[in-house]
A = this chain, B = another copy of it.
Amino acid sequence: MAPPTPSAPVGSIGVALLGLGVVGRGVFEALRDNAAIYATRSGRPIAVRGVAVHDLTRARDGVDQALLTNDPRALAVRDDIDIVVELMGGMEPAAACIEAALAAGKSVVTANKEVMAKRGPELLALAQQNGVALLYEASVGGGIPIIAPLNRDLQANEIRSLQAIINGTTNFMLTAMAQDGLSYDAALAEAQRRGYAEADPSSDVGGVDAAYKLAILASLAFHTTVHPDDVYREGITQLSARDFRFAADLGYVIRLLAVAQRDTDGALDVRVHPTLLDAHDPLARVDGVLNAVAVEGDLLGRAIFEGEGAGSRPTTSAVVADLLHLVSSGPASRGPASRGAASNHPPESPPRQPPTDPPPAQFASRGALHMRYYLRVLVRDRPGVIAEIGRAFATNNISIASLLQVEADAVAGTAELIITTHHARESDIDRFMATAGMLDAVQDVGIRIRIGSASAGSRP
């Protein structure tokens, strides 16, 4: 055991912090500023015994230089470490560090959605084999408790569906486009100016980030393994300011919705795409950078978890909660670090984890989706166009619910049609969109936005 230092009293739990970015700094400061309260709540003092950073030469205000290292993997397996808190983000070296820590008998807390989405099942199995825990509440929904509730509080239910707004960046952009009439580019620039979007926003606006989080939630909710590649994904880059106006006129708002539900035949339908939600839907009111997850279960009915889905402080709330839970549950490592510690907790196994050998999922075919659709089609502005379009819909078994012709462009000789459909098969919509471009009347097939949830879902 490493000799105790002033910041590592005997009997304390030794923590390694991997990463000192926005969230790492938040966790470091919370553990420092609330040390006495957290020791009371968890039953043990918590000592940060090492902090892994990328650049050792940079000054780190308020952080003892002796704690710093640029070798996260070596820190993660050090004898005086009980719990590793991984806040580096990205796949590597984060995944390798988590793996090494678990293999060395350390429990791990992570906020890493990419690692948990891509390698969660394997790492959870490794934790179980080693009698330690891997907790990841912060990986989805920032400070909103959702992983633990799915994993424990909703266990009595067969979950029917899960609908979530789990990417704050795009929700901020969509809210700005709707409420302030911003263009996509202006909304993105504003999100970047406020620090909500990165210089390369592709993971957020492309729906990749939301797909990671949905894979994590769906795996838990449906007791199976959903890989991000299993998630059908469309981002928000195709949306234009006029779609928000038309949506509002029709009584809808546009949200990047992550949906997971079990079809009547047992297949899993998992997808992330822009969705028109009725303006009265509880998720339609989730504005700006807020996140929300709506869960429907056979006993529960529908419950909604809403709050701040990102940012240093909310994410710190989730990371530290996992950490306190580990500490109060008993030994967090099987190494020498916690031996001889003055604890009033009897030996105990780590907190409940999801099963590590879930059955594989059957995924629903996207073509079988049965939803309502919003379509925006650019047509030539001449007589007979509506009839021609109408025939093309009928040929593809699509029934029109509303049709609006707007914004005739006299110079270009074009007009725009805004169409909502009754429930239709996605395969029929696909066929319409694939063939409509060949119609004489159609200049550009435009875009398709799905409306509400699938009829196979939970709203009869």
The CA of A330 and the CA of B306, in the complex, are separated in Å by 32
Stretch of A71-79, A261-269, A319-327 with 4 or more beta carbons under 8 angstroms from chain B = A319-327
Residue among A155, A157, A305, A325 with the highest chain B CB neighbour number at 10 A = A155
- Is A352 an interface position by the 8 A CB rule? yes
Known: A154-B145, A156-B320. A304 touches B301 (CB 8 A): no
Say which residue of B153, B304, B321, B325 sits within 8 Å of A137 (CB atoms).
Answer: B153
Given contacts A152-B325, A155-B41, A155-B324, contact A303 B352 (CB under 8 A): no
Within 8 A of B (CB), among A320-367: 320-321, 323-325, 328-330, 345-346, 348-349, 352, 355
B156 lies within 8 A of A152 (CB): no
Interface contact B145-A303, CB-CB below 8 Å: yes
Q: Shortest beta-carbon distance, A431 to chain B, in Å?
A: 40
> Does A302 reach chain B (CB closer than 8 Å)?
yes
Q: Does A307 contact B (CB under 8 A)?
A: yes
Count, chain A residues at interface, CB 8 A: 56
- Complex formed: what's the CA distance from A453 to B325 in Å? 32
Q: How far is the CB of A248 from chain B (nearest CB, A)?
A: 17
**8 additional contacts, CB 8 Å, given A299-B313, A303-B305, A305-B305?**
A38-B156, A42-B155, A143-B299, A153-B321, A156-B317, A156-B324, A300-B314, A325-B352
Q: A12 an interface residue at 8 Å Cβ cutoff?
A: no
**Identity of the chain B residue whose Cβ is nearest the Cβ of A280 in the assembled complex:** B285
Interface residues of A in 30-47 (CB under 8 A from B): 30, 34, 37-38, 40-42
Q: Measured between C-beta atoms, what is the minimum distance from A318 to chain B in Å? A: 7
Nearest CB in chain B: distance from A410 CB, A: 42
- A353 (CB) vs chain B CBs: closest residue: B328
Q: Is A308 in the interface zone, CB < 8 Å from B?
A: yes
